[in-house]
Structure 1
Amino acid sequence: MDDKVTIEKIARYAGVSPSTVSRALNQPELVKARTRENVYEAVEELKYVPPAVKHEGTAKTAVIGLAVPDIKLSFVGELIRDIQLELSSTSCDLLLIDMKGERRVSLFFTRNSFYRKKIDAVIIFSAILDEGGVNFFNSVNIPVVLMQSRSGAAKSISTNNFLGGHDATEYLLSRGYRKIGFVGWNYQDDRLMGRFNGYRSALEKAGIEFQESMACYDTIDVEGGYKATERLLEGFKPDAVFYSCDAMAAGGLKFFRTHNFKVPDEVGVMGFDNIELASALGLTTMKQFIREKARMAISYLMDRLSGNSRKLLNEEICITPRVVIRETTR
């Protein structure tokens, strides 16, 4: 009896034609969502492994994709460097995939299915991977790992943003600051909300009531940090500000120094990320351990690609940031 799983068997199981199965795997944007899901479920159930795909590189070179919703973020450049350092001792190349603002992984890769032929594995950075997206990658035999986001259906390496926000605020309180403002980007972002909720929790524990005037939001860059700080001071007079990322903290420092505020005596500044810029600015911040996360992500993908581990892991590794004390807090 031939137990080999073929396109024809997948088609019978999913109740579609073999050509539909082929389109769902190679050109998913041409197939209705419900039909795609039926095909992916059949692939998963029957343990189908597609034939190896020939990539543009050499036969000995595997290509790791790094899919990022916004490549303009200052954080991304350092992430690329850390991943490249981890790959330097391997035969793998890195391919940066610009998702152009789209955070829904399933939708992006459905619309841009040609990437399937370019990558052997993929790191998804700070984006939303639902079960349909996981099924798609499994169906085309592409190992996937998430960084800086969470999924119950795939391996993820994330940050405990709540504890990070809590510990950052708690440190400011321990240094004698009491009127602590908050500056962030899109308040609907789950990472931002984790840090904000941690900030509020630390204030509440200290008996400090949060007021709406204590928080401002703008774009996640230096200019956004400058503008948000300017608006924050129109309705609140903080003695410290917790910035939810280092780039915005750099903008805040620029504002305070331009307007002759004495940092850290008149106002303390706390960031979040510990990018290279933070060290140059003497910024007290929260270290996210990006190099360590990159190492874990690459180690998992290399095990999958080498065949040392065929098990699909959906475990979550959540790392708590650590305070890095520098000159912007007393």
Structure 2
Amino acid sequence: MSKKISIVDIANALNISKTTVSFILNGRAQEKRISEELVERVLKLVKEVGYKPNSLAKSLRTGKSNIIGLMVEDISNPFFANIARLIEDRAYEKGYRIIYCSTDNDTNKTQDLITMFRDRHVDGYIMAPPKDIEEDVRDIIKSGLPVVMFDRYLPNIDTDYVVVDNQFSTYNATRHLMEQGYTKIAFITFSSEQTQMLDRVNGYKNALKEEKLKPYIKEIDFNRIEDLIIEPLTAYLKKNPGIDAVLFGTDHIGTCGLKVIKQLGLKVPDDLAVVSFDDYDVFKLYSPPVTAIAQPIEDIADNIISLLLKKLDSNANQTTQKITLSTNLNIRRSSKRLSDAVAQ
């Protein structure tokens, strides 16, 4: 195996100091009044030998790695995947690279990932945080690194975040179902103490309370394995045959719910009207197309990276910003009364 070329090897080959080579490679030749002829010689040799600077060593010298750590619940989820892609593009335009990973809503895993990011000397963090990592985030902030949260936030941590108006979103969706004449509306979601999930439950409850309707809430433990979601969901719908509409709290549980509805032989919306949080192609292509609460993916991504880059580009302390964006209820045939659906 050939020896990896170092900056010392470059300097020795040209009989100059490694400091001079370092200044040239870091774009400081003009500042240090290094001749153009020497710059050309160094760059020519660097190209010939294929020298690649050690990014970790460089970050230790400069204090910047130009790397951002992005932590999401599940990178395979369309919501998080689309946002990650947009953030990556925007960050790359500004000279930053993204390292992203899935926390699976697991506190211990998240703490391990934060340690990994610290070892990589990332310049800032973007995260959809799980529970019980307040102290870890405080340590990050105390070290002078910016943190931007999205999708949810930690109420006891003063940091920037970008979320949607979850409470109004489910309130509005529930009101839509009531306006269609549905009165036994279930809310099926993951059991969670996270801010976005609590707001979604509260929005649903508030809408029903206005019309004095009974809530039907089913909370299922978060799991990436579909069978562990489908089983309790199936049992709940079998146990409550009188339910005439269901609002799913996330897209993941919504897609599982559609499979259960089909397995049970129920027709949408004749037997059961359906609305889901988050909107993506599966819901548009389902027959009938599913009414969904669409989050403004591009606006979320733009606001996240703008907040973080602003913090990274400024040495001064800035006040934290809390941004709440609106969603859009895309009404389709799955939530309409049969007569209305046929008419359209």
TM-score, normalising length from structure 2? Answer: 0.69
Task: Tell me the CA shift for residue 133 of structure 1.
Answer: 4.0
Q: Matches of 1:215 and 1:78 in 2, distance apart?
A: 28
Q: What is the one-letter code of the residue matched to 2:312? A: L
Q: Does 1:326 align with 2:329?
A: no
Q: Are 2:307 and 1:300 equivalent residues in the alignment?
A: yes
Q: Deviations over 1:12-50 (max 9, x none)?
A: xxxxxxxxxxxxxxxxxxxxxxxxxxxxxxxxxxxxxxx
Please name the residue that 1:185 is paired with: 190
- Give 5+ residue unaligned stretches, structure 2: 1-55, 337-344
Q: Which amino acid aligns with 2:318?
A: L
Q: Check whether the contact 1:54–1:117 (CA below 8 A) recurs between aligned residues.
A: no
Does residue 215 (structure 1) correspond to residue 222 (structure 2)? The answer is: no
Point out the more displaced range, 186-195 or 155-164: 186-195
Per-residue displacement from partner, 1:273-325 (whole Å, max 9, x unpaired)?
A: 22343333332111122321111111112222223x73333221122332111
Please point out which of 96, 101, 112 is paired with 2:100.
96
Q: Which amino acid letter does the alignment assign opposite residue 161 of structure 2?
A: S
Deviates more, 1:214-223 or 1:87-96: 214-223
Distance 2:190 2:208 in 1: 20
C-alpha contact (below 8 Å) 1:246/1:274 kept by paired residues: yes
Shift of 1:148: 1.4
User: How far did 1:88 drift?
Assistant: 4.6
Mean Cα deviation higher: 151-160 or 261-270: 151-160
Q: Deviations over 1:184-221 (max 9, x none)?
A: 1124444322211211111111121225xx53424355
- Aligned pairs for 1:21-36 within 5 A: none
Q: 1:257 to 1:114 in 2, by over 3 A?
A: closer
Greater CA drift, 93-102 or 294-303: 93-102
Are the structure 2 counterparts of residues 283 and 128 from structure 1 closer, same or farther at C-alpha, using a change threshold of 3 Å? Answer: same
The AA in structure 1 aligned to 2:299 is: E
Establish whether residue 316 from structure 1 lines up as the match of residue 322 from structure 2.
Answer: yes
Aligned partner of 1:231 in structure 2 is 235
Structure ID, larger Rg: 2
Matched, 1:260 2:268: no
Q: Verify the 8 A CA contact 1:245 1:273 in the aligned structure 2.
A: yes
The alpha carbon displacement at 1:247 in A equals: 1.6
**How many angstroms apart in 2 are the aligned matches of 1:162 and 1:329?**
20
Q: For structure 1, which segment, 201-210 or 96-105, has the greater mean C-alpha deviation from structure 2 after superposition?
A: 96-105
User: In 1, are the aligned partners of 2:105 and 2:129 still within 8 Å (CA)?
Assistant: no
Paired residues for 1:1-330 under 5 Å:
54-55=58-59, 62-71=66-75, 73-99=77-103, 101-103=105-107, 107-108=111-112, 112=115, 115-128=118-131, 132-151=135-154, 152-210=157-215, 214-219=217-222, 222-223=226-227, 225-236=229-240, 237-281=242-286, 282-307=289-314, 310-330=316-336
**Cα distance between partner residues in 1 of 2:111 and 2:264:** 45
Greater mean deviation of Cα atoms: 270-279 or 66-75: 66-75
| Distance in 1 separating the partners of 2:192 and 2:309 | 36
Moved more, 199-208 or 217-226: 217-226
Q: Look up the SS of the partner of 2:215 in the other structure.
A: coil
Separation in structure 2 between the aligned mates of residue 87 and residue 279 of structure 1, nearest angstrom: 30
Relative to structure 1, is the Cα distance of residues 104 and 93 closer, same or farther in structure 2, using a 3 angstrom cutoff?
same
Instruction: Tell me, in whole angstroms, the C-alpha distance in 1 between the residues paired with 2:323 and 2:117.
Output: 30
- Partner Cα separation in structure 2 for residue 126 and residue 114 of structure 1: 15
CA distance in 2, matches of 1:86, 1:326: 33
Superposition deviation, residue 135 in structure 1: 4.1
Distance 1:293 1:100 in 2: 21
CA distance in 2, matches of 1:113, 1:259: 45
Task: Give the letter aligned to residue 297 of structure 1.
Answer: I
* Structure 1 CA distance for aligned equivalents of residues 160 and 134 of structure 2: 12
In structure 1, the partner of 2:32 is none
- In 1, are the aligned partners of 2:68 and 2:123 still within 8 Å (CA)? yes
8 Å Cα contact 1:284/1:325 also seen in 2: yes
